[in-house]
Amino acid sequence: MSRTEGLTVSSESPDVFESDLAESASDASLERTRARSLEIERQIATDPRPFRILTGDRPTGNLHLGHYFGTLQNRVRLQRAGVETLVVIADYQVITDRDGVGPIRERVLSLVADYLAVGLDPSATTIFTHSAVPALNELVLPFLALVTDSELRRNPTVKAEAEATGNRPMSGLLLTYPVHQAADILFCRANLVPVGKDQLPHLEQARVVARRFDERFGRAVAGHPVFPRPEALLSEATSVLGTDGTKMSKSRGNAIELSMDADTTARLLKKAVTDSNRTITWDPTGRPEVSNLLLIAAMSTGRDPREIADEIGDGGGGGLKRYVIEAVNELLAPIRKRREDLVSDEGYLRTILSRGNARANAIADETLSEVHSAMGMTY
C-alpha cells in the first residue's frame, strides 16, 4: 500500500467522512458490497484462514430468538467454516445511553452461557469483555484525534439518539460511540465484520479511522499498514417481530428469550397478535403479524412459510400459534438443555471468559505496541 502525507482533520478540512458515508449508502455501493460479500463467502469456503471476524453484543438483557436468527446462527456457521472469530461483550457500552450498569455481572455470564449453548466453541472463538482489555480502550485516544465532532454527530446511531431525545445534550461516551466501535474492530485487526445493510455506515467509520491513522502515522511503520481496512460480510437475515407485532426487543417484553422454558414460551406465543381471518396465508405486506409467525415457524423448521400456511389452512390464529409453539420449542430444546447445564457451573463460565480476556489482551497489547511505534511514542 502506498503512503500519503498525513491528513489533518479540522473543521476546515474537506468533509471526507461525509462523502464516505454517502458512498457507502448509495445503491451502487450496496450492490458492490453484496457482490464482494458473495466473493468473500466463496473464499471462506475455499480457505478461511486469511479472515478474522469481530462481532459482539451489549449486555443489556437476555438474548432472544431475534438474536438467534439474526446473528448467532451466522456466527456458529462462520466458526464451523474455520473463520477465526472474536466476540466482544461490550460492557463499557452499556452506559452510553443508561444511567447505570444494572445487573451487569449476571448479564455478562448469561451472554457467555447463551454463546456456548448455541454452539460457539471457546477453543475456536474468543469471547471477552471490553472492560478487561485496557489496550483496546486506549486506542480510542489516538482514534479520537482522527475524527471531528460534526462527523460523529452525523453517525446514524448518534444522530438517531439525538433526534429521539429532542437534541438534548448527550454524554461524551455516546457521542464517541462510533470511535469505540472502530476500536473494537481494529484492535484485533479484524478484516471482516458481519453486518446488515443498515450497519454499513458504522463499518465505514472504522475504515475511515484505519485509513486516516495510516495516512497520519502509519508511514512510520515500514512495509505494511498498521490497520487493515475491514470489509463487510453482508447479512440478508430477516428480522422477526415480537409477540406484539413490533420489533422483538429485550426491553419491550415481547421477546422469546433463549433462557425461557417451554411453558413460558408457549404462554407468550399464545398472546401473539394475529388477525380475524381464519385462513392462514403468507402475506407480509397485508398480514404482517400472521406472516411474522409463519416466518418464525419457517426459520425454526427450515421449511417454506407458504407451505406452512397451506398446511394450517383454515386453522386460524390458534392453529398457527400451536404450530409455532411446537416448532420454536423443538428448535430451542437442545439449546436450553445445554444452557441449563452451563449456568449451573458459574466457575466454568468465568474460566471461559478469563481465557478469552487473556487472548484479547495479548492481541490488543501487540496492536497498541505497533500504534506507539507508528506514532513515535517509544521511550
349 Cα distance to chain centroid: 21
- DSSP code for 69: I
Same domain, 197 and 300: no
Same domain, 213 and 78: yes
Question: Hey, what's the cell of 261?
Answer: 422454558
| CATH of residue 20 | 3.40.50.620
Q: What is the share, in percent, of the chain residues with pLDDT greater than 70?
A: 91
Across-strand partners of 54? 86
Same domain, 53 and 73: yes
The answer to whether residue 147 is domain-embedded is yes
Q: What is the pLDDT of residue 237?
A: 67
The answer to whether residue 301 is domain-embedded is yes
The answer to whether residue 251 is domain-embedded is no
Question: Hey, what's the cell of 25?
Answer: 449508502
Alpha-carbon distance 359 to 128, whole Å? 8
Q: What is the pLDDT of residue 171?
A: 86
The answer to whether residue 28 is domain-embedded is yes
Burial-class residue 29 by CB neighbours within 10 Å (0-12, 13-18, 19+): middle
- DSSP code for 199: G
| CATH of residue 308 | 1.10.240.10
Same domain, 311 and 323: yes
Q: What is the pLDDT of residue 224?
A: 77
Q: Are 73 and 240 in contact (CB under 8 A)?
A: no
Same domain, 278 and 331: yes
Q: What is the pLDDT of residue 219?
A: 61
Same domain, 156 and 26: yes
Boundaries of domain holding 231: 16-239+345-374
Same domain, 147 and 275: no
Span 73-132, pLDDT tens digits? 999 999 999 999 999 999 998 988 777 888 999 999 999 999 999 999 999 999 999 999
Q: What is the pLDDT of residue 252?
A: 78
Q: Which of 115, 112, 126 is nearest to 350 (CA)?
A: 112
Same domain, 363 and 338: no
- DSSP code for 71: I
The answer to whether residue 272 is domain-embedded is yes
Span 4-56, pLDDT tens digits? 222 223 323 333 334 444 444 577 888 899 999 999 999 999 999 999 999 99
Same domain, 190 and 318: no
For residues 217 and 250, which has the higher predicted lDDT (pLDDT)?
217
Mean pLDDT of 353-364: 98
Alpha-carbon distance 130 to 62, whole Å? 18
The answer to whether residue 257 is domain-embedded is no
> What's the number of domains the chain is made of?
2
Alpha-carbon distance 353 to 149, whole Å? 35
Span 258-303, pLDDT tens digits? 999 999 999 999 999 999 999 999 999 999 999 999 999 999 999 9
The answer to whether residue 40 is domain-embedded is yes
| Side-chain-side CA neighbours of residue 29 (13 Å) | 15
Give me the amino acid identity at 236. Answer: E
Same domain, 333 and 213: no
The answer to whether residue 246 is domain-embedded is no
Alpha-carbon distance 232 to 20, whole Å? 15
Per the listing, cell 496492536 goes with: 367
Span 53-74, pLDDT tens digits? 999 999 998 899 999 999 999 9
Span 134-144, pLDDT tens digits? 999 999 999 99
Alpha-carbon distance 240 to 320, whole Å? 16
Same domain, 193 and 70: yes
Same domain, 354 and 339: no
Q: What is the pLDDT of residue 7?
A: 28
Question: Hey, what's the cell of 71?
Answer: 446473528
